[in-house]
Amino acid sequence: MESTQAIDVFAALSQSTRLDTFRLLMEYEPDGLAAGEIARRLEVPQNTMSTHLAILTRAGLIEAERHSRSIVYRAVVDRVREITSFLVQDCCGGRPELCEPLVAEFTPCCSPKESSHV
């Protein structure tokens, strides 16, 4: 990932509604949520939500897919990997053992668990 792409990602996430939207979509991976449902859950007017979704899409953080009359948005997990890798690419000056605690932080969040939104 280039620095300019990373700046686009950070700029997209630097607004509270967009950050909340992205985190909500990460929670609902891999199924995603319809645009109207995202707006409802975050209590944001649909036209305002459309603008936020467009910014997140341009940054490559989410993608949309039409399902009948709805547009379903999903987080782009590969983009999360890219931005995380960008942030830690020079981690610990080439001494990966120093970064083990950082890597361990990500393991619990990705453990299988009961879904609370089935």
Distance between CA atoms of residues 2 and 83, nearest Å: 10
Fold of the CATH domain 3-110? Arc Repressor Mutant, subunit A (1.10.10)
Sequence spans of domains, the chain:
3-110
117 pLDDT higher than 60: no
Which tens digits make up the pLDDT trace of 53-80? Answer: 999 999 999 999 998 898 999 999 999 8
Spatial distance between the Cα atoms of 118 and 31, rounded to a whole number of angstroms = 10
